[in-house]
Chain A
């Protein structure tokens, strides 16, 4: 069963404050090590695109949840994620980050109850070059009928 979430539909198109994220070599090293991958590979791991996107989106997770009258205590979950790399990531580069909310949908499941699915997209730019697009969906349980 699916229906729109009228209370938050107006947030579709709302832009993130955005900002910058420097892909520091030490961060790339530690990430690769945490993944059990080769930290000596100087080509940044592609999951750094997501890290750069959320690192430069300009608000905290709690602030993002609050846009939708939700909190961390509601148990928000990742739904889906997509990264599209238009050009290779580069260590040492400072990326500009911008993005917006792309969708809000309300659904009701027999077991999960009512929940909202919020889609948002963040883009990385190196100067004028569009390097990556990260699209995500957040699942926000609405147990309290928010």
Chain B
């Protein structure tokens, strides 16, 4: 994998679906109706569209990172700030840029800036992530210990 500082990750776009929010609410046991009851959404003055769950918004960014890095187990660290809502019917774009490369006990790690943007709207999430882009040996799973992760945190 040829990665350099400044490389842009392939964008990942998702059409946000109200049905998926219902599934997520059931999985989380989340009783907040703003995610699935449009009448309550309207009564609260939030418009007519359900509000997407924060974990789904995070998940879109993680999916982008995992696809780029070569697997879901390559995502080592992920930190975001919640800046705005994503609504049913929105189309969102997950974006990322490599800001640094490090060699750790697990292999080569890329540090990235990431953002989830509502197309035609505002940024909903922004933050940073670290992903394993080149394990020490091909096919290895990462085995980063907490100590190794802390060391890489300090290196930033």
Task: Identify which of A36, A80, A89 contacts B20 (C-beta below 8 A).
Answer: A36
Q: Check B63 for interface membership: any CB of A closer than 8 A.
A: yes
List A contacts of B59 (CB < 8 A).
31, 35, 37, 45, 47
Q: Check A107 for interface membership: any CB of B closer than 8 A.
A: no
Task: Identify which of B15, B24, B63, B78 contacts A37 (C-beta below 8 A).
Answer: B63
Q: Check B73 for interface membership: any CB of A closer than 8 A.
A: yes
Q: Verify B82–A83 contact, CB threshold 8 A.
A: no
Docked CA distance A84–B128 (Å): 12
Q: How far is the CB of A55 from chain B (nearest CB, A)?
A: 8
Interface size of A in residues (CB-CB distance below 8 Å): 34
Q: Check B144 for interface membership: any CB of A closer than 8 A.
A: yes
Interface 1/0 per residue, A66-104 and B, CB below 8 Å: 000000100001111111111111000000000000000
Interface residues of B in 28-72 (CB under 8 A from A): 28-29, 32, 54-56, 58-60, 62-63, 66, 71-72
Docked CA distance A47–B80 (Å): 13
Docked CA distance A45–B62 (Å): 8
Q: How far is the CB of B19 from chain A (nearest CB, A)?
A: 8
Task: Identify which of A43, A44, A47, A130 contacts B55 (C-beta below 8 A).
Answer: A47
Q: Check A146 for interface membership: any CB of B closer than 8 A.
A: no
Q: Verify B63–A35 contact, CB threshold 8 A.
A: yes
Q: Verify A43–B72 contact, CB threshold 8 A.
A: yes
Docked CA distance A43–B72 (Å): 6
Q: Check B141 for interface membership: any CB of A closer than 8 A.
A: yes
Docked CA distance A89–B76 (Å): 11
**A43 and B71 in contact, given A35-B59, A78-B54, A81-B58 (Cβ under 8 angstroms):** yes
Report the nearest B residue to A47, measured CB to CB. Answer: B59
List A contacts of B20 (CB < 8 A).
33-36
Q: Check B81 for interface membership: any CB of A closer than 8 A.
A: yes
List A contacts of B29 (CB < 8 A).
55
Q: Check B119 for interface membership: any CB of A closer than 8 A.
A: no
List B contacts of A33 (CB < 8 A).
20, 23
Q: Check B8 for interface membership: any CB of A closer than 8 A.
A: no
List B contacts of A82 (CB < 8 A).
77-80
Q: Verify A27–B27 contact, CB threshold 8 A.
A: yes
Task: Identify which of A34, A37, A81, A130 contacts B82 (C-beta below 8 A).
Answer: A81
**Besides the contacts A82-B77, A86-B144, what 17 more A-B pairs have beta carbons closer than 8 Å?**
A30-B23, A36-B15, A36-B63, A37-B59, A45-B59, A46-B75, A77-B82, A78-B54, A80-B80, A80-B82, A81-B79, A81-B80, A81-B82, A83-B78, A84-B78, A85-B76, A88-B73
Residues of A within 8 A of B (CB): 27, 30-31, 33-37, 41, 43-47, 50-51, 54-55, 72, 77-89, 130, 133
The 14 listed contacts between A and B (C-beta, < 8 Å) are A31-B24, A35-B14, A35-B60, A36-B63, A41-B72, A45-B63, A45-B66, A47-B62, A50-B58, A79-B81, A79-B82, A84-B76, A85-B144, A86-B145
